[in-house]
Amino acid sequence: MAFLRSISTNPATPVLRGDRVMLRTPSPGDYPQWAKLREESRSFLARWEPIWPADDLTKLAFRRRLRRYQREVRNGTGYPFFVFSSDGDTLLGGLTLSQVQRGVTQSAILGYWMGQPHAGKGLMTSAVRAVVGFAFDTLHLNRIEAACLPHNAASVRLLEKVGFSRQGYARKYLCIDGRWQDHLLFGLVRDDPRPQG
């Protein structure tokens, strides 16, 4: 239980609220909902993610994931969130600020996933808006970067709706669904306008 105390009391990882969503750091009790949502969304997510390890949905793998999250939060290099319905009862997806850089960079990389039953409803847009506020107003970052596959129209729309601008095209950027694939690169800077609605 030391893990729960250390990660839940860290002031850098508060509960975030957005329109129709609540974000908080993952905890051991989230495993059943997480494993179920990931399993039922497997074919939907496979085209957007790296190939899952064979044991990815096991309780042991989930515990390893939580230990990695704890280490990243402790080191200030990553801030993982699970996205829930506004009442906190239903897991919808996940979102992470990773590779947080300090010094002259003050940046992070945004990644996210949404369970298939909840996709296309604007919920991740609300979650990303909440985490952008956290990144700029609490962590005092200057820049957030994100990347998505060029044919992922939903992700492109989401990023542009939140205020990210296209900043490049990276050839064979990430190994997604077992293949090195090109990605569109997006960026959002602290003083960029943050559109609402």
At 5 the pLDDT is 36
Written as tens digits, the pLDDT of the chain (197 aa) is 343 333 333 445 789 999 999 999 999 999 999 999 999 999 999 999 999 999 999 999 999 999 999 999 999 999 999 999 999 999 999 999 999 999 999 999 999 999 999 999 999 999 999 999 999 999 999 999 999 999 999 999 999 999 999 999 999 999 999 999 999 999 999 999 888 76
- pTM for the complete prediction? 0.90
Instruction: Name the E strands within the chain.
Output: 16-18, 21-24, 79-85, 91-101, 107-114, 143-148, 165-176, 179-189
Burial class of residue 20 (count of CB atoms within 10 Å of its CB; 0-12, 13-18, 19+): middle
At 192 the pLDDT is 93
Interacting residues of 67 by C-beta distance below 8 A, sequence separation 6+: 3
At 194 the pLDDT is 81
Question: What domains, with CATH codes, occur in the chain?
Answer: 2-145 (3.40.630.30)
The two three-digit tokens of residue 97, written as one number: 């600020």
Residues 186, 164: contact at Cβ < 8 Å?
A: yes
Residues paired with 124 in a beta bridge: none
Interacting residues of 101 by C-beta distance below 8 A, sequence separation 6+: 107, 108
At 26 the pLDDT is 97
Residues 51, 177: contact at Cβ < 8 Å?
A: yes
At 68 the pLDDT is 96
